[in-house]
């Protein structure tokens, strides 16, 4: 997208958000208020005219001066009220309204993006792009509808007034304007590419810092703090060198502006001397032209100076559009059937998935789990496990396979209905940065305190009752108030409240010690009772009691029996199994 495309898009979105009538009314009022402020120099000129008459011993009507000053005061009051209406009601309020609506639109769209789109993006960049867009869109619109329109209106009206008063003085005043515009254009053109390099350098520094934060534990264990600190310092210094060059160029442009304004004053003063000698002009006209020089040259400089910021703002807006405009949403386009009173049967039929033709994950896999069965999967590599989970939840949509629940193809089922009947217990279960109670109520908002207590007891999470604020205890960011096993038990309690029909366990006890594992396994056994369960694990204690164990190798199922039968076959599973340590090698 070009800059002009982005500007058109933003303005169109803004107009459609605040409604056309309000948009054009505001536009007219912005111009009207800008013109009001241009009248101010004429009051000064009138007062100077009275003073000039008095100095020249001409007759002066002091009563008229008093009336004029009173009128001037009323005009100032009217201008201030109009400016307040213009600034708050027609600029800030409209832009904030637009900002709020766009925030709602884009957050809703991003939250509803398909999960595979999310996995294909750099997670750190999603927030960064959105955060930059929020600030830069507001600032860009404020510049357009507050500063740009005002300054352009001033210039247009002033030029007409100057030529109406005296075309010779007008030419003298505007003589240096094309030169100023050309200088700023050249500086802007030369600086534009360099500013893009600066922005990319800042992005690189930010990414490197984010990567360090994400791997802080690893950095500390490998004693790499100084290495990363030096690297970030080096990136920052290179960025600052480029930024200093950009700032230096704009500072030089400011010097040119001051020089041109000073030169314009000399030209205007010289022309005035020539015209006053021929009685074509008076002193008050000179004052008027001197006043309007500031209203012409510095607004132009202000506009060009802000082009640097506008480039960065447009870049941020472009990033958002390019990153999220074409997102495929995880929403139902058509009305599809919901799962009602399911009997918990689940079947994979000729399911295949690959990232590329030479990188298969699973290939023509078929299996079924009957009502209340517990089935387990093992393999000598684990790349496939997240694939199976994502396919069951319909995070990836592929037409070539069939996964059915109660003989209903899940591609024809409402996603919310499907996901509400399935739940995943992982090795690292996520909890929100809120109270234990709120985390549990996310599973079932209608749960009573009695239900919550019962779920915590079933999940062997009795430690919650010993906390000072028990279920009102806040789980801080990164779960600093909970140990690993405590977090796991609260996640299981959440499952009891959710009461899903189908359960998937992904290495749910792999990070626990033997004592804690027994407690968690006890809670999981309660949870899996009267439910269809799919278990992915490498601990034999977790899978030994499964009704079926599927052994996968080279993308396919190569063995399929219960534990005792697989061990008796003395083949692939037997090679992996290590009953002495109760693990799969």
**pLDDT attached to residue 400:** 66
Q: Higher model confidence: residue 218 or residue 139?
A: 139
Q: What is the C-alpha to C-alpha distance for residues 334 and 571, in angstroms, rounded to an integer?
A: 48
- Paired with 532 in beta bridges are 502
The residue whose two tokens read 């790499």 is 224
297-310 mean pLDDT? 74
Give helix 20-55 / helix 283-324 axis angle, nearest 10°: 160
215: helix, strand or coil: coil
Quick check: 263 and 143 in contact, CB under 8 A? no
Quick check: 245 and 194 in contact, CB under 8 A? yes
**Beta 346-356 vs 402-405: how paired, if at all?**
antiparallel
Which range, of 36-40, 401-405, 415-419, averages the lowest pLDDT?
A: 36-40
**Beta 556-561 vs 577-578: how paired, if at all?**
unpaired
Structure confidence by residue, pLDDT tens digits, 138-169: 888 888 877 777 777 778 888 888 888 888 88
Residue 129's alpha-carbon distances to 104, 137, 354, 511, in angstroms, are: 16, 12, 30, 35
Q: How confident is the model at residue 460 (pLDDT cuts 50, 70, 90)?
A: confident
Residue 412's alpha-carbon distances to 145, 391, 405, in angstroms, are: 48, 14, 11
Q: What is the C-alpha to C-alpha distance for residues 172 and 296, in angstroms, rounded to an integer?
A: 13
The residue whose two tokens read 């999981």 is 524
Q: Per CATH, is 7-324 categorized as 3.30.360.10?
A: no
Q: What is the C-alpha to C-alpha distance for residues 27 and 21, in angstroms, rounded to an integer?
A: 10
**64: phi then psi, degrees, rounded to nearest 5:** -65, -35
The residue whose two tokens read 């009953």 is 579
The residue whose two tokens read 């190569």 is 558
Radius of gyration of the chain, Cα coordinates, nearest whole angstrom: 36
382-401 mean pLDDT? 72
Quick check: 490 and 459 in contact, CB under 8 A? yes
Q: What is the C-alpha to C-alpha distance for residues 375 and 516, in angstroms, rounded to an integer?
A: 23
Structure confidence by residue, pLDDT tens digits, 257-290: 778 878 887 887 787 777 777 667 767 777 777 7
Structure confidence by residue, pLDDT tens digits, 330-371: 766 555 667 666 667 888 888 877 766 666 677 778 888 888
Go through 172-203 and write b for each residue having 16 or more CB atoms within 10 A of its CB, e for each that does not.
Answer: bbbebbeebeebbeebbeebeeebeebbebbb
Q: Which residues contact 469 (CB under 8 A, 6 or more apart)?
A: 435
What are the sequence ranges of the domains in the chain? Answer: 7-324
The dihedral sign for the CA sequence 85, 90, 96, 101: positive
Model confidence, pTM? 0.68
Judged against a pLDDT cut of 60, whether residue 554 lies above it is answered with yes
Query: What DSSP line would sit under 507-559, residue for residue?
Result: STTTTS-HHHHHHHHHHHHHHHTTSEEEEE-SBHHHHTT-SEEEEEETTEEEE
Q: How confident is the model at residue 481 (pLDDT cuts 50, 70, 90)?
A: low
**281: phi then psi, degrees, rounded to nearest 5:** -155, 160
Judged against a pLDDT cut of 50, whether residue 479 lies above it is answered with no
**pLDDT attached to residue 301:** 72
Q: What percent of the chain has pLDDT over 90?
A: 0
Written in H, E and C, the secondary structure of 293-311 is HHHHHHHHHHHHHHHHHHH
Q: What is the C-alpha to C-alpha distance for residues 99 and 93, in angstroms, rounded to an integer?
A: 10
479: helix, strand or coil: helix
Structure confidence by residue, pLDDT tens digits, 187-209: 777 777 777 777 778 777 777 77
**pLDDT attached to residue 581:** 44
Query: What DSSP line would sit under 121-162, residue for residue?
Result: S-HHHHHHHHHHHHHHHHHHHHIIIIIIHHHHHHHHHHHHHH
């Amino acid at each position: 997208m070009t800059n002009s495309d982005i500007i058109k898009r933003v303005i169109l979105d803004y107009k459609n958000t605040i409604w056309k009538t309000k948009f054009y009314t505001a536009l007219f009022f912005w111009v009207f208020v800008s013109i009001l402020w241009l009248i101010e120099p004429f009051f000064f000129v009138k007062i100077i005219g009275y003073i000039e008459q008095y100095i020249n011993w001409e007759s002066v009507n002091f009563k008229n001066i008093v009336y004029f000053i009173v009128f001037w005061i009323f005009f100032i009051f009217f201008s201030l009220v109009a400016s307040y209406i213009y600034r708050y009601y027609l600029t800030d309020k409209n832009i904030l309204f637009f900002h709020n609506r766009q925030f709602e639109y884009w957050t809703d769209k991003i939250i509803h993006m398909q999960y595979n789109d999310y996995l294909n993006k750099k997670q750190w960049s999603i927030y960064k792009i959105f955060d930059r867009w929020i600030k830069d869109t507001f600032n860009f619109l404020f510049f357009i509808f507050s500063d740009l329109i005002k300054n352009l209106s001033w210039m247009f009206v002033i030029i007409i007034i100057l030529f109406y008063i005296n075309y010779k003085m007008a030419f003298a005043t505007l003589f240096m304007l094309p030169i100023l515009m050309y200088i700023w254009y050249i500086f802007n053109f030369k600086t534009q590419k360099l500013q893009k390099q600066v922005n990319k350098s800042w992005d690189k520094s930010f990414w490197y810092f984010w990567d360090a934060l994400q791997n802080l534990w690893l950095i500390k264990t490998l004693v790499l703090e100084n290495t990363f600190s030096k690297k970030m310092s080096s990136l920052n210094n290179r960025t600052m060198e480029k930024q200093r060059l950009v700032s230096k160029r704009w500072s030089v442009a400011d010097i040119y502006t001051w020089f041109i304004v000073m030169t314009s004053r000399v030209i205007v003063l010289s022309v005035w001397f020539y015209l006053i000698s021929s009685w074509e002009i008076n002193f008050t006209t000179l004052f008027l032209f001197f006043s309007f020089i500031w209203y012409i040259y510095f607004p132009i400089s202000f506009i060009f100076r802000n082009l640097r910021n506008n480039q960065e703002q447009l870049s941020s807006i472009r990033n958002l559009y390019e990153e999220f405009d074409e997102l495929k949403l995880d929403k139902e386009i058509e009305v599809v059937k919901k799962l009602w009173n399911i009997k918990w049967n689940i079947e994979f039929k000729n399911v295949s998935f690959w990232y590329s033709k030479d990188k298969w994950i699973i290939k023509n896999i078929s299996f079924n789990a009957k009502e209340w069965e517990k089935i387990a999967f093992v393999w000598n590599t684990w790349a496939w496990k997240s694939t199976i989970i994502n396919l069951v939840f319909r995070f990836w949509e592929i037409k070539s396979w069939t996964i059915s629940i109660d003989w209903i193809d899940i591609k024809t089922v409402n996603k919310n209905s499907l996901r509400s009947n399935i739940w995943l217990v992982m090795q690292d279960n996520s909890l929100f940065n809120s109270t234990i109670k709120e985390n549990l109520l996310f599973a079932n908002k209608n749960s009573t305190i009695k239900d919550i207590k019962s779920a915590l007891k079933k999940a062997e999470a009795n430690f919650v009752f010993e906390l000072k604020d028990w279920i009102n205890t806040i789980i801080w960011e990164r779960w600093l108030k909970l140990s690993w096993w405590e977090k796991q038990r609260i996640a299981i309690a959440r499952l009891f409240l959710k009461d899903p029909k189908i359960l998937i366990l992904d290495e749910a006890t792999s990070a626990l010690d033997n004592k804690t594992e027994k407690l968690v396994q006890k809670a999981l056994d309660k949870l899996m009772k009267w439910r269809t369960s799919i278990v992915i694990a490498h601990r034999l204690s977790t899978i030994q009691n499964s009704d079926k164990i599927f052994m996968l190798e080279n993308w396919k199922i190569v063995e399929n029996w219960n534990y005792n039968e697989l061990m008796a076959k003395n083949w692939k599973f037997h090679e992996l199994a290590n009953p002495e340590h109760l693990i799969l090698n």
